[in-house]
Amino acid sequence: MSFIDQFSKLIGGLQHYRRPEPELSLDTGLAFGGGAGASSAHADAGTDLLEGEVVAILKEFRQVHVRTPEGRVLAITPDTPGVEFSALHRGQRVACTVTRFVPRVLNARVLA
């Protein structure tokens, strides 16, 4: 009995199931390695410029959390271009360029 059959039996039957085609792939649009796209301005249709305040510094996880006025929490790491990670502190204002699809901070800068 396959996993799908077991799962179907568990939930009381599936109305419709189609296996994905092997040649299909999901393009997440993520830019790895801090290339040319990592420092581009928010003019790109796939990014937003968000401002927020540093609310947590998690040294053991190598992350700084920034909360936007809308309540979103963004993570800045030592690998985030544009900001000196070790100089960030609670209460500091930061602007971040963030991807829309699968949110990821591409770069950040400290606001005066």
On whether residue 52 sits in a domain, the answer given is yes
13 neighbors 61 (Cβ within 8 angstroms): no
Q: CB under 8 Å to 49, separation ≥6 — which residues? A: 41, 42, 95, 96, 97, 98
Short-list 107, 111, 103, 110, CA closest to 41: 107
What is the spatial distance between Cα 55 and Cα 65, in angstroms, rounded to a whole number? Answer: 6
Q: For 1-52, write each residue's pLDDT tens digit.
A: 676 677 667 766 655 556 555 544 444 444 444 333 444 444 456 899 999 9
Could you tell me the CATH number of the domain that includes residue 95?
2.40.50.140
The helix/strand/coil state of 52 is strand
Q: How many domains does the chain have?
A: 1
Q: For 80-105, write each residue's pLDDT tens digit.
A: 999 999 999 999 999 999 998 888 99
On whether residue 71 sits in a domain, the answer given is yes
pTM: 0.60
